[in-house]
Structures are given as structure tokens and as C-alpha cells.
Amino acid sequence: MARRQRNTPPQLDNVVLQVGPMVSGGRSLARLEDGRVCLVAFAVEGETVEVRFEKEHADYLEAEVVRVVEPSPQRVAPRCPVFGTCGGCQL
């Protein structure tokens, strides 16, 4: 039986997080203040980012970057003008 996804609680909208290492699927690992795991799309290790939560699972949340507060020195500008919207390239 598949796990049921929960709705994201409204109090979790637009949280600022410190991003950790990249994990499976090209997402980066971050933790909320309460210790919950968050997988962040389009973030680079070492960055501070503002995120919007997309999905809540039983043991982790999925989020996407809304704004980069403090960029990583490893961050580079994408070469493609439609990066992030067409889905052809990931990183």
C-alpha cells in the first residue's frame, strides 16, 4: 500500500534554511529547527535559502528554493535561459 502524502502545514511556508550536502535525485539535504529532514531542489551545499514546501511525507519534506539569501561559492549561473522551467537539464 502506498503511503499517503499529507498537506503541507501553512506555518511552514517560506522558511529560511542552511543547505547541506546533495543527496539522491539532485536535491540537497537541510533540516528544520525541529530536526525534520527537508530535501531542497535547486540548492547548493553551503547556501542559505528561503524555501517553499511542496510536499510532506511521513519522514521528510520536499521544498524548492524561492530565494537564495546567501549563495555558495560553488553556485554558477545556468547557461540555459529556461533552466528550471523546461526540465531538460537538472544541474
Q: What is the pLDDT of residues 40-52, one digit of tens each?
A: 998 999 999 999 9
> What is the assigned CATH class of domain 1-91?
mainly beta
Low-confidence winner among 49-53, 68-72, 73-77 (lowest mean pLDDT): 73-77
pLDDT at residue number 25? 85
pLDDT-based confidence at 23, cuts 50/70/90? very high
Average pLDDT over residues 61-84: 89
Whether pLDDT at 13 is above 80: no
Residue 44's Cβ-side half-sphere holds a number of Cα atoms within 13 Å equal to 13
Residue 85: closest CA among 52, 42, 49, 55: 42
The domain segmentation of the chain, as residue ranges, is: 1-91
